[in-house]
Structure formats: structure tokens, C-alpha cells
Amino acid sequence: MCGIIGYIGERSTSEMLLQGLRSLEYRGYDSAGVAVVDNGELKLLRCEGKLDNLVRQVDPTGLNGSYGLGHTRWATHGRPNEENAHPHRDCSGTIVVVHNGIIENYLDLKAKLTKQGHKFVTETDTEIIAHTIEKHFDGDLALAVRRSFEELEGVFAFVALSANEPDVLVGARNGPPLVLGIGDDESFIASDVPAFLNHTRSAVYLDDGDIAILRRGDVTVVDANGAEQERPPQRITWDPVQVEKQGFKHFMLKEIFEQPRAVRDTLLGRYSLDTGLVHLNEVALDDAFVERLSRISIAACGTSWLAAQVGKFYIEELARIPVDVDVASEFRYRNPILDENQLVIGITQSGETADTLAALKASKEAGATTLAICNVMGSMATRVCDQTLYTHAGPEIGVAATKTFTSQVVCLYLFALHLAQRLGRLSPDAARARLEDLARAPHVMESALEMAPSIVDVAREFYLVGNFLFLGRGHLYPIALEGALKLKELSYIHAEGYPAGEMKHGPIALIDDRMPLVALALDNPLFEKIASNIQEAKARGARIIAITTEGDDRLLPVLDGDRDSVIRLPRHPDAISPLVSVLPLQLLAYHIAVRRGCDVDQPRNLAKSVTVE
Ligand code: AGP
């Protein structure tokens, strides 16, 4: 997903732009570029590959300027090379644009502009924006952007400047995020808060259809008709240090170890052990709606979809309301049966995932009530939905979701308890017992993370293996799927998660001494069942990585000390097992990926938020 930064102010523009792009690297990219205006002269530098290639170019030229744009590109149209890197220019070379998203009608526009004499030099859809603005530009960049905005179709966020209209940046949002940073004598426009968080905590999140005009000392937001829009600034409470690695080798490792704090923060203020009540004040579902609630659908993607599957267990067990879970890309196109007596939950850490947003919009149109479970304040999902239940995981920089996943699971458990209480299906005493277990989760997770060093040894044993099978049962089946997804997306090893009970229905044919089996064999009511699966796999030569409970040695007679591995987790209540048992799987994927030399924080082909279909 591309990263955008625009700056206008009194400090070194190139320094502000490069700092901002460095903070956006987590979004994943394959090329980068900056454009600054220095006394009316436009200077442009672009490179293929990482930001360091750009920094090397900037130093010798001492790229000065009083305002400018920067971009990290994640290729959607056109190869990842210098020519296709942003910023892109118009024919005159005085208007430049940086863009995130897809202009779906770019070929149609390109044909029309070519007929009008425009010359194109790249394969990108972005270049169309620069030429469309040029077509409308008569000295008023904001007006030209507003008119261009009307012609563009697709999902896009872009920022433009013109060397012929000094000290103005104009940005437009229709889908992917754009946020303004309002400083004392400077302002920023960027894809995400970390781009300017070291300089200001005052942020303005743009809505779809907004056009932001940044002048020296003044920022206004208008709609495509030029009508001013009220967008009050929000104070960002993140600590800039949170966004740094704090001594960890990778953001992902830091975020794995942040999970106890993230869970603690997500729980904070949302329940009382005295009363045994859950207080989700931010979720205002009226009593009549809750009483007639007939079904809950959850739509999400990737790891968020797996959190949804854990949530299904909690909600159906406690609130006794049927829950359907769907990947958002399927939900949005299968014409789901929805009505005003239903709730659709969209789980999305970024709040910007295209398929999840589309699923939520379709649900609203069908009359359902919508709830976002999201980690980014002010993101699109929180504005599309009727209600939002925020995770408080803090900024998650690593592309692979870790602390946002466990925070999502906590939100779903709280929501299930909340619904059960409102429906009179859970007494305060019963709820208190569960809340006491939940309140222990951060401490249990901290204890569990003490096994981290043992995972390094396991990774050394298995990092060259070509395939993995992950097995789980009940509410740990989604955790097996998540363990497989983590390994796939970080180490590029093929891995498959399976409900353990399905082994005899096909997967057991895969088992031999080259197919290790990661089994979630915690001390719970289904232990005996999964122990049988382990024995069946052992009998066919598989090596086992067993995730077990401290003090439970029932598997030891089955396992071979030299071929198999055992990871012991502190004893904990079964209901919080998804929060605890995912930890060794995250660490296993991380350490195997590191040993394989993979780019752990920015895995190949992946983006932190998939803002296009
Ligand atoms: C997480 O490890 C994955 N990188 C990815 O599947 C992610 O969970 C998915 O893209 C959904 O993102 P969202 O939560 O921001 O919607």
C-alpha cells in the first residue's frame, strides 16, 4: 500500500518528507520519490527500491525547497521502477501528484487526454491525475483538483502541487486514508499519523469526498463543490516512541511482546469485577434492537477473519445468538440475507480494508446495524459503521498482525459477555468469574512469553522444512489457521491449518517425515481427541511440535525427544486459550522467517492494509 507525505512549513522540506516516508515504510513499497519547490523551481527525485537509494541522491544535491511531496509506491499498475515511481508530472512538468489507490477509468481518461494532445511517459494510472489537473488548471490548483475529482473513478487518495501556484498543497480522498497534521507554523498531509507524529499530535482525518487545501499557516477542507467542511482536529495520544522499535530487532517482535499491554489497554475501563458487569459505553445498541437481534454476521479478511472465528465461539456460547463468519470478499458478493434485526460486525485493524468496507456498506444498505472492531481512530470503517468498538493496541507497524489480533479477540469476548448480560443469559456472578479469568490474561500472556527463547531452538530445527500442517480443535482451530497464516506470510513456507478432526478426511495422506505437525494440545476438554491425531501422525513418520500446558505430561510417552518439540504454556482458563496459545505460533513464524533471511516487517508482496480489491 502506498505512502503519501506532503509538507509546507518553515523547516527543511526534504528532511520532513524523508522522515515522513521513513515512518511509512511499514506499509510496504518497491520505489520512492520526492518533489520540492525551491523559489518557483520544481525539483524531482525518484528511485527504485528502498528509501536509502533516495536519501543517497538527496544528500549531494541538498534538495532545498519550502514545500513538497513524498511517496513510497506499492505497485498496482506498472512495474516497480524509477520511471513509474511517484511523484508524476503533467506535460508542463510544473504539476506533480502522489497517489494511493486505483483509478479504474484511467484508460478511458488516458485516451481522451491523448486526443487532446497530452503526452504520457509512464504505465501508471497516477499520471492521468496530473494531466487531468493540468487540463483544468488556470492558476487555481484547488479548483482544478475539485474538477478533476469529479472525473476520476475508483478508490484513490492523492496530493498535488503546482510550481505555478506557490505555497499550496491540495489533497483529495476517495477511499484510502488521508490525514492532516496541523503544526504551529507548518502542516502535513499524509497516508497515516506516524508520518508526522514526531512533529504534531493534532490530526484531522479526511472523509471520502474531502479536498484539503494546505497553505502556509492555513488549512481548509472543502467538498467537490467547494463548500467548506468542518473537520475538527483530534489529539493523537500515541507516543512517538511506541512507533519505534525500542531495542527489538523488528517491529513485529516488539509487537508480539506488547500484547499483554495491548490486551490490558483494550480491557481497561470496560468492566467491573465488583458488579460483574461489562460496560461497552461506546457501543450504543438500544434494548429493543438487542432483544430482537436474530443473527450476527462477521465479515473480515486475513487475521481479522480468524479473530472473527474465535468470536463466534464466544458469542454463541454466551449470548446464544447465531453467528455467521465470512471473508469479506465473499460476503460482499454473495447477496447475504440481512434485515433490520441483524448486526454485521466488520473486524479490521486498519479500518481501511477495501473488501471489509464494501461488506459493511452493503450491510448498511440492506438495513442491518453495523459495528466496527478497529484499531485506528477515525479510519473509514469507524465512519461507515453505526458503532465502533476500538481495540487499544496502539500503532501496529509490522505488516503481520499480532497485537491487533489478540486485542480483537478481547473485544469479541467483551462484546459476547455484554450481549449475554443484556439478554439476561449470564448472571453477574457467572460473568464475574469469566471477567476474573479475562483480567488475568495479560499476566498469563507475560508468563507464556517467557518460553520465547525455546522457540528459537525449535525454529533452528524446522526452518528449512518446505511444508507445515497446523491442527487445532474448537476455539483453537482458528488459532491453528492463524499459526499457518503467520508462517506463510512471514517465511514464505507453505502451511495449512486444519480442524484436527478432519485429518482422516484427506490431510492424513500428506503425513510423512517431511511434513511436520504443529498441534495445539492444551489441557482442555478436547485434549484426548487431538492426542489421538498426534499419535496417528507419529505413526506415519511426522515430526511433532506440540503446544501443551505446563505440568501436563500425557504426551511425553508419545513424543520422541530428539525428533519432536514440546512448548509448554502456563496453565490458564480455557476461555482465554486463544490469547495464550497464539503466542508460540507467532514467535515460531517470526524466528523461522528471521532464520530464512526474510523481511519480517515488510514481507514480500504484502501490505499493512489492502485498500484495493
Ligand atoms: C495479517 O497478518 C495479514 N497481514 C492480513 O491478512 C490482515 O489481517 C488483513 O489484510 C486484514 O487487515 P485489516 O485487519 O486491516 O482489515
Ligand 1 atom nearest to 301, measured from its CA: 11
Q: CA-to-CA distance for 531 and 528, rounded, in angstroms?
A: 5
Alpha helices in 366-503 (DSSP H): 380-384, 403-422, 428-448, 452-462, 477-491
Confidence of residue 166 (pLDDT cuts 50, 70, 90): very high
pLDDT tens figures, 357-404: 999 999 999 999 999 999 987 789 999 999 999 998 987 889 999 999
Ligand 1 touching residue 408 (CB < 6 A): no
Tell me, yes or no, if 245 is annotated catalytic: no
pTM: 0.75
Tell me, yes or no, if 91 is annotated catalytic: no
Ramachandran bin of 486, using left for φ above 0, alpha for ψ from -120 to 50, beta for the remaining angles: alpha
Nearest residue by C-alpha to atom 9 in ligand 1: 302
Ligand 1 touching residue 349 (CB < 6 A): yes
- Computed on alpha carbons and rounded to an integer, the radius of gyration of the chain in Å comes to 26
| Per-residue confidence (pLDDT) for residue 242, from 0 to 100 | 67
Ligand 1 centroid distance, CA of 67 (Å) = 34
Average pLDDT over residues 501-525: 95
Question: Is the pLDDT score of 44 beyond 80?
Answer: yes
75 vs 338, more confident: 338
| Per-residue confidence (pLDDT) for residue 243, from 0 to 100 | 66
Q: How many other C-beta atoms lie within 10 A of the C-beta of residue 108?
A: 13
Nearest residue by C-alpha to atom 4 in ligand 1: 400
Ligand 1 centroid distance, CA of 182 (Å) = 29
Average pLDDT over residues 137-149: 97
State the average pLDDT for the chain: 93
Question: Is the pLDDT score of 241 beyond 70?
Answer: no
Ligand 1 touching residue 327 (CB < 6 A): no
For residue 240, whether the previous peptide bond is cis, meaning omega lies within 30 degrees of 0, is no
At 241 the three-state DSSP class reads helix
Mutating to test ligand 1, I would choose from 27, 489, 609 the residue with most ligand atoms within 8 A of its C-beta, which is 609
538 vs 610, more confident: 538
Question: Is the pLDDT score of 171 beyond 80?
Answer: yes
| Per-residue confidence (pLDDT) for residue 611, from 0 to 100 | 85
Ligand 1 touching residue 399 (CB < 6 A): yes
62 grid coordinates: 541538498
| Per-residue confidence (pLDDT) for residue 573, from 0 to 100 | 97
| Per-residue confidence (pLDDT) for residue 392, from 0 to 100 | 87
- Among 2, 374, 385, 411, the one annotated catalytic: 2
At 229 the three-state DSSP class reads coil
Ligand 1 touching residue 589 (CB < 6 A): no
pLDDT tens figures, 311-366: 999 999 999 999 999 999 999 999 999 999 999 999 999 999 999 999 999 999 99
Q: How many helices and strands in the chain, by DSSP H and E?
A: 18, 26
Ligand 1 centroid distance, CA of 28 (Å) = 13
Nearest residue by C-alpha to atom 16 in ligand 1: 348
Residue 356 — φ and ψ, nearest 5°?
-70, -40
- CA dihedral angle for residue 363, residue 368, residue 373, residue 377, rounded to 10 degrees: 80
Mutating to test ligand 1, I would choose from 326, 353, 397, 604 the residue with most ligand atoms within 8 A of its C-beta, which is 353
Strand 211-215 and strand 218-222: the pairing is antiparallel
Lowest mean pLDDT among 47-51, 188-192, 446-450: 47-51
Ligand 1 touching residue 85 (CB < 6 A): no
H/E run at residue 359: helix 354-365
| Per-residue confidence (pLDDT) for residue 571, from 0 to 100 | 97
